[in-house]
Amino acid sequence: MRIKHLFIVPRACFWYAGRVSDEAAFLMKAITRIFNDLFVQYFSARKKPEIDFAFLLHARYTSDAIATFPFLRPFPEKITRMFLGFAWPIRLSMITGVRTIRDGKQIRGAIIAIPMTAAQMIEQKSRAKKKIFRAARFAEKLGAVVIGLGAYTSSLTDNGGDVEEITDAAVTNGNTFTAIASAENISRIVSGAGKELGRMRIAILGATGSVGGILSRILLRAGAQELLLVSRTLINLEALKSTLAKQFPGRAIDISTDPASLVSADFVVLATNSPAALIQTEHLKKGAIVYDISQPKNITKSVISARRDCRFYEGGMVVSPPAIDYHFKFPLKQGNVFACLAETITIAAAEIPMEKITYGDDTYADLIKAHSRTIGFHPSYYEL
């Protein structure tokens, strides 16, 4: 019996379910897609020119996974987590409506899910990394020449460096555009509050991460005079401070490994890779402004409720042009997508060669900023 015959039953069930109910049809369509993707990953040797770029992501919480796999709804969380632990990467949706900047040619993308929650990615790093590699190879088989990494798929692979070693595609962690969009949003928030960037003490929690490091430099370029860099590893903080001090002499740059030090800041940026919320009510100065670009969020509803004297914003996203259809509902306000995804699309649409994708480089940052505006992406944020 040939392998392809294994997929006759789910296809037949889908045909029948479509006549029974929309809900059953959706369920069988999801099951069919899952098994089709399994076939491509394990049994298909040649590339299929279906897409031009791909974006990898994972669920933040089990609720995200259930929304994608509704057949898991009746099961307890333990069973859901077990299923996610052993499931293979799947295509969540196609991205259409993207055109190349040079000649207006239509290109297509795919959102590929790593079936694990944020907590599982941290708890089971080895398994998560194997799934990321499998997803990247899957994207290549589908024809992707650009692969974007979202959430922990970047941090668990040395900001995409490990993925570059196992694929011929151009790889982006999307952190450059996330930092660019965040810097612009921060400037708008500060201005809207009637304040000046150069007169505020700005703290970045997760400063030594790739987003935090790039954002630190962009904010200093924009006129910030006083930064507090907070992270877990002192040696990395000292290295970042030394680099920034050379580039921006005369600026006040402090470092700390204690989140409690955030209480001295007027503006707090949250850019960590922690699956758990780190900020407590006592960590914030009276009247502080908090800007969270972490996924999952680093601010809980209880902290927001308890500190009504502070302002809380969610960022790290952009407004997407109406022509681009993601065929997927992101956990964001309508019309918004993550900036890391927008960077992936920008690289594909602008046909930026692999050798020009250099993280932390001002020339690359300016290139992404200019091309993203041409496509129609604009930084966005909203109050929590």
Residue 185: CATH number of its domain: 3.40.50.720
Q: Which pLDDT tens digit goes with each residue over 131-145?
A: 999 999 999 999 999
Q: Which DSSP letter does residue 154 get?
A: H
Q: What is the pLDDT of residue 210?
A: 83
**Beta carbons within 10 angstroms of residue 55's beta carbon:** 31
What are the φ and ψ backbone dihedral angles of 121, each rounded to 5 degrees?
Answer: -60, -40
| 92 and 122 in a common domain | yes
Indicate whether 335 belongs to any domain.
no
| 249 and 135 in a common domain | no
Indicate whether 368 belongs to any domain.
no
| 311 and 189 in a common domain | yes
Task: Work out the percent of the chain whose per-residue pLDDT is above 90.
Answer: 67
Indicate whether 350 belongs to any domain.
no
Token pair in block for residue 328: 């997927």
Q: Which pLDDT tens digit goes with each residue over 29-54?
A: 666 777 677 777 777 665 668 899 99
| 161 and 93 in a common domain | yes
Indicate whether 65 belongs to any domain.
yes
Indicate whether 271 belongs to any domain.
yes
Q: What is the pLDDT of residue 46?
A: 58
Domain stop point among 124, 154, 173: 173
224/198 Cα distance (integer angstroms): 4
Low-confidence ranges of the chain (pLDDT < 50): 1-20
Non-local CB neighbours of 22 within 8 Å, separated by 6+ positions: none
* Residue of 116, 97, 117, 115 whose CA lies nearest to 107: 97
CB 168 within 8 A of CB 283: no
Instruction: Taking the CA atoms of 139, 140, 146 and 149 in sequence, report the sign of the dihedral they define.
Output: positive
Q: What is the pLDDT of residue 298?
A: 82
Domain stop point among 115, 141, 173: 173
| 299 and 197 in a common domain | yes
Indicate whether 56 belongs to any domain.
yes
| 304 and 221 in a common domain | yes
Indicate whether 21 belongs to any domain.
yes
| 311 and 182 in a common domain | yes
Overall domain count for the chain:
3
Q: What is the pLDDT of residue 297?
A: 81
Q: What is the pLDDT of residue 67?
A: 80
| 100 and 12 in a common domain | no
CATH of the domain at 133: 3.40.50
Please give the residue range of the domain that contains residue 39.
1-45
Token pair in block for residue 38: 């399994």
Long-range Cβ contact pairs of 76-84 (< 8 A, separation 24 or more): 81/117, 81/120, 83/115, 84/59, 84/115, 84/116, 84/117, 84/120
Domain stop point among 106, 139, 173: 173
| 128 and 101 in a common domain | yes
Q: What is the pLDDT of residue 25?
A: 65
Indicate whether 323 belongs to any domain.
no
Q: What is the pLDDT of residue 18?
A: 46
89/58 Cα distance (integer angstroms): 9
Q: Where are the alpha helices (DSSP H) in the chain?
A: 8-20, 22-43, 62-68, 77-86, 118-123, 125-141, 152-155, 161-164, 175-192, 210-221, 234-247, 301-306, 339-350, 362-375
Q: Which pLDDT tens digit goes with each residue over 253-265?
A: 999 999 999 999 9
| 115 and 89 in a common domain | yes
CB 302 within 8 A of CB 66: no
Q: What is the pLDDT of residue 284?
A: 96
| 192 and 289 in a common domain | yes
| 310 and 192 in a common domain | yes
